[in-house]
Amino acid sequence: MNCKQTQDRLSAYVDRELSSPEMLQVREHLFACRQCQEEELEYRCLKQLLVSGPTPEPTVDFEGRLVKSVLGPDPVLRAERKRPAYLVAAFAAAAAMAATLLILPFVKGNPAMKRPMANSGKSNDFAIEINRDQIYEASGDPLSGGHLSSPAVYGR
């Protein structure tokens, strides 16, 4: 998989919407390509920002307006409302894009927004020690049931 193919799939990859083989292919490419890694990080940060933003509450008359628009309002009224709706949508898109462009540079430079890494500190070090020893134990003795042989501390 090349950079273009990977970047086409990055959004779906971040949302875990790809099939398993595709996930593996993208992951493999990301493993080797620093440029795509940065792209992926940006995607993740952007999605995180969008998720963490406030959810706007609908106005009180939203339901009524929705029903009216589905059932088909008066053609005269529809024509009147067409222009303002278009303008609002365009304004919203422009505002979103501006916000994204403004936020991205800060996101890149902010270490707190980087991809979550394994916990630091002694607790994590000792957990890694135990996990690597348990990999050893599980490899030598499948009968015990033992641990899940991946060091979960890295994966979570």
Partner 1 sequence: MAAERKVVALEGCDLSAPLEGGWGVSKCRVSPMAKALLLVASLTTLCSAATAKQPESTKARQLLSRSMERVPGFNVVAVILYRALDGSDSEQAKIEIAKDGRMHRVVLQPLSREGFESVDDGKQLRTLVPDHKTILVQESPLLEQSDTVFRLSLIQQNYTLKLEPSLRIAGREAMPILATPKHIELAPRRITVDAQTGFLLKLEVGNESGRMEPRVEVKSVDFPSWLSANVFQLRTLDDTRVIQFKPRQDLTQENIADLQLQFKPVVPKKLPNGFVVQHAQINRGRFKSIAVRITDGLVRGTVYESLPSDAPEMEIESATRLCVGPVTFTVVMDAPEAVRRRIAQAFAKNVRAAEEPEAQVASGMVPGTDATPASVVNNVAPPSHLTFQVGGNDN
Pick the closer one to partner 1 by CB: 100 or 139: 139
Pick the closer one to partner 1 by CB: 73 or 149: 149
Q: What DSSP state is assigned to residue 138?
A: H
Q: Where are the beta strands (DSSP E) in 26-138?
A: none
Phi/psi region, residue 72 (left: phi>0; alpha: psi -120 to 50; beta: rest), is left
Pick the closer one to partner 1 by CB: 113 or 127: 127
User: Is residue 3 near partner 1 by the rule CB under 8 A?
Assistant: no
The CA–CA distances, whole Å, from 25 to 2, 8, 42, 76, 154 equal: 10, 13, 19, 54, 21
**Contacts to partner 1 from residues 41-70, by CB under 8 A:** none
Nearest residue to 40 via CA among 21, 25, 24, 27: 27
Tell me the window of 25-33, 71-79, 83-91, 98-106 that interacts with partner 1 (CB under 8 A). 25-33
Residue with tokens 């083989």: 21
Pick the closer one to partner 1 by CB: 56 or 121: 121
Query: Under the rule (CB under 8 A), what is the footprint of partner 1?
Result: 16, 20, 23-24, 27-28, 31-32, 117-118, 121-127, 129-137, 139-152, 154-156
